[in-house]
Amino acid sequence: MKETMQSDLTVAIKARDEVAASTLRMVLTAVTNEEVAGKESKVLTDDDILTVLGREAKKRKEAAEAYDDAKRPELAARERAELEVIAKYLPQQMSEDEVAAIVAAAVAEVSSSGATGGALMGQVMKIVQPQVKGRADGGQVAALVKQALNQ
């Protein structure tokens, strides 16, 4: 995946696509920083890179909302353009109905154990997170789990 992004960066530079080029540079820098973080360097797997991309996408989304709140539409538009570039490398996002179905199955599985409250929330999230990793917003998943548990 990293090689794909590097070749896409070369294409973006040759095409003089400044938004794509600068976004890919930032993402590749974030990946490199993740590789050298800690005591020993490591090569990231595609799943690790997806985690980094998800983090970068979340930053862009939050920054765009902050710029909208601050009445800075030109900066918000720039963040959204960067988000579009990053989204090309992320897996297809799940619909709310798909996430809700996974949550419902997890709640049914866990509720038979007799746990209640926060413990139940944690158990459900442990089951749901691996199934939706990188394909659904964590906040949305948590909200759906809380909603399902309160019914």
Q: In this structure, what CATH number is given to the domain that contains residue 81?
A: 1.10.1510.10
pLDDT at 91: 80
Indicate the SS3 state at residue 76: helix
**Contact by Cβ (8 Å): 59, 11:** no
Q: What is the DSSP letter of 28?
A: H
Q: Which amino acid is at 71?
A: K
| 57 and 124 housed in the same domain | no
Tokens read off for 78? 């720039």
Distances (CA, A) of 61 to 21, 24, 55, 83: 19, 16, 10, 7
Tens-place pLDDT, residues 120-140: 777 888 888 888 877 777 778
Instruction: Let me know whether 20 and 80 are in one domain.
Output: yes
Do 16 and 74 reside in the same domain of the chain? yes
- Residue 54 has phi, psi (to 5 degrees) of -60, -40
Q: Report pLDDT for 118.
A: 63
List the structure tokens of 36. Answer: 């050298």
Does 11 share its domain with 82? yes
Task: Find out whether 89 and 1 touch, Cβ atoms under 8 Å.
Answer: yes
- Number of compact structural domains in the chain: 2
Mean of all residue pLDDT scores within the chain: 85
Give residue-wise pLDDT tens across range 93-125: 788 888 888 888 888 777 766 555 666 777 888
pLDDT number for residue 24: 94
pTM: 0.71
Which residue range is the domain that position 124 belongs to? Answer: 96-149
Q: What is the dihedral of CA 99, 100, 106, 112, to 10 degrees?
A: 180
CA dihedral 47, 97, 144, 50 (to 10 degrees): 10
Q: Are 148 and 107 in contact (CB under 8 A)?
A: yes
Regarding whether 131 and 63 lie in a shared domain, the answer is: no
The confidence score (pLDDT) of residue 151 equals 63
